[in-house]
Structure 1
Amino acid sequence: MAIKYALYDNQMTSDPDDHMAQVQHDQTLTLDNIIETMIGRGSTITKAEALSVLEEFFDAITEAIKNGQAINTELINISVSLKGVFTDSNDRYDSNRHHAKINVQAGTRLKKVLSELSFTKTEASKPVPTLLNFKDVASDSSNDTLTAGGVGQLNGSRLKIDPADNDQGVFFIASNGTETKSPTTIRNKPSELIFMVPAGLASGNYKLEVRAKLGGKGIRKGQLLDELVVN
């Protein structure tokens, strides 16, 4: 399947006619989506087994990084570097002046994919909030449970809202179309929102939607792919 791209004005050059390409992803997959694809191909492993193995894999990777080891796999290569200025050869690491950075590069298997990609041009779409993962703090679950009156954590991109604007915010849309807005935003960043889940939500399924003005333009809406359930 061809990858879609659209052209937008290039603000990095002085040429008013210059444009730059931006890939238009049809969908953003979570770990659960990847596992569903794995077991959907006829694999003999269960979803629980796949999750368990991947959790062990993630733990092994993070432990290696903490131990000062670099990672080299067919999929990705991971290493750590230090940023910041050291005053002379006798200077030492100071967390107030220096910071660590995780470097991730494509491995040989991902690099090979580049030669197999095909592209098709499409019309430029307006940017919208992208909701990647919702964590229900009370139940410590992701993209599943919704606890009325609890705290929710949402990660993604273009999520920042203006709490003073009644049209912007985090909305919970019930199966019957009823909309309830989160009453309080605790953390308000482009990549993360932490907010209160309305206490009055009735039992049932809900769509989670963020409404925000991007670049001073009109209200743009983005929804989480998974439905959330209030028990």
Structure 2
Amino acid sequence: MPVSWQRKLNMESNNAFIKLQESANGRVSVKLQKNQFAKDGAESFYGRVERYTYSTQNILDAMADAIPLVDLGTVASVLNAYAGTVLKVLSAGNAVKFGELGIFYIAGKGSVDNENGKPKLTVKFSATQTLKDAVQNVEIAASEYAAPSGLVTSVTDVATGKSDGNLSASSSVLVEGSSLKVGGEDSGIWFAPVAESGIISSDESKWTKIETALIYNLPSKLLFALPQELESGKYKIVVRTRYAGKSGYERKYLVEAISETVTVA
């Protein structure tokens, strides 16, 4: 490695890492959600910070600006080599100190059913106080309550493999998105008729519910057969669920996800 590169990194004998620099305070947005496990019925909320992720290219550009005497290709090579070395050291069963930021370490995941069992392993990160301090002055630019909701991102006709909004009668349908797994009282999947204006019929007695067993019933994926009695027409698929994750906890309220308009023909 060239001497000039070592100088620019300001390497220390014990951790050899880029020295952290002070930067302007950033801003984030926070979505508040109700804490369903609050004690004694007291109302409280927890915040989820909306994540904006720097890409590898963003990081490379920022590093190139910080060390202008080194070309971008060299920066990329060093970054890739560092990542590869971290993976190699972790796969050998070791923890890895990540400079002034923290430590990657191997931890047990989940439980086992006997004293001789072997738990699954995962990787965790323990942040240093330096890293924790770095975010203390980040400004919360917006904080608002967001009721939990599901999301339908695509509806695919399994017979044709197309996600163009057209469904073949008596075919199977793949619905993808998030928070879709059906579970709990009053949950289910319905085809709700859509008027010319694009509005769903408010008369739920006219909705057609999927009564057959679901082939896939996952948080991100639902697969089921169209009911034979479903007439040709325009619909929106409505998913309602109380499922709240692997904990088995059932929400006190229904989470709803609604698709774009689909045409059954």
Q: TM-score, normalised by structure 2?
A: 0.44
Larger Rg belongs to: 2
Q: TM-score, normalised by structure 1?
A: 0.50
